[in-house]
Structure 1
């Protein structure tokens, strides 16, 4: 499928790209090539191919959610650059 320069200009406009004429022609050729490949893929008969969301037998690997004791406050704050009591002290993110 060969795109027209006007179609490429429209795509560039939608993507908010400023392309000079050389870039426009290069994009026209590249996008046309991509669309040609898509047309080839669409021509393949996949009626007997089952719908697939995952091609491998991977499953999520998770650990058992077990309640454990927390890290002691002094250990958690040992490398803190600044602390205030039992809390990390950080610069304000929001202005009042």
Structure 2
């Protein structure tokens, strides 16, 4: 099992620019040891017949075929805009 000392915690806290007291560092060192100890238990589990996965749920994209369709009648659409020109929507210049 990996041993974490107060000095280890202070060393990593320095990288993260975290201010930490010696008492906090001792507390975090014992907590880190407990977390690593828990993950060591997982190494004992038999995973020989388990396939690797990227997500616990089998998710996939549901895609539809991309087929162009006339959803809105052009003339009906052009009636809903302020200005039109040559069958297109006229917008103000932005430059």
1:44-91 alpha-carbon deviations (Å, 9 max, x no partner): 22122122223323211345445578x87x58xxxxxxxx9255xxxx
Count residues with an aligned counterpart. 79
- Seen in structure 2, the aligned counterparts of structure 1 residues 68 and 24 have a Cα distance that, compared at 3 Å, is farther
Task: Give me the CA root mean square deviation.
Answer: 3.2
Does the 8 Å CA contact 2:5/2:29 hold for their aligned counterparts?
A: yes
Q: Give the match's secondary structure for 1:6.
A: helix
Q: Work out whether 1:38 is the aligned partner of 2:55.
A: no
Equivalent position SS for 1:3: coil
Residues 1:9 and 1:52: Cα distance change in structure 2 (over 3 Å)? same
1:61 paired with 2:62, answer: yes
- State the distance in 1 between where 2:33 and 2:27 align: 10
Q: Which runs of 5+ in 1 are unaligned?
A: 76-83, 88-96
Distance 1:10 1:66, change over 3 A: farther
Q: CA separation in 1, counterparts of 2:69 and 2:26?
A: 62
Per-residue CA deviation, residues 22-56 of structure 1 (Å, 9 max, x unaligned), is 21122112111111111111222212212222332
Matched, 1:85 2:92: yes
Bigger CA radius of gyration: 2
SS of 1:44 mapped into structure 2: coil
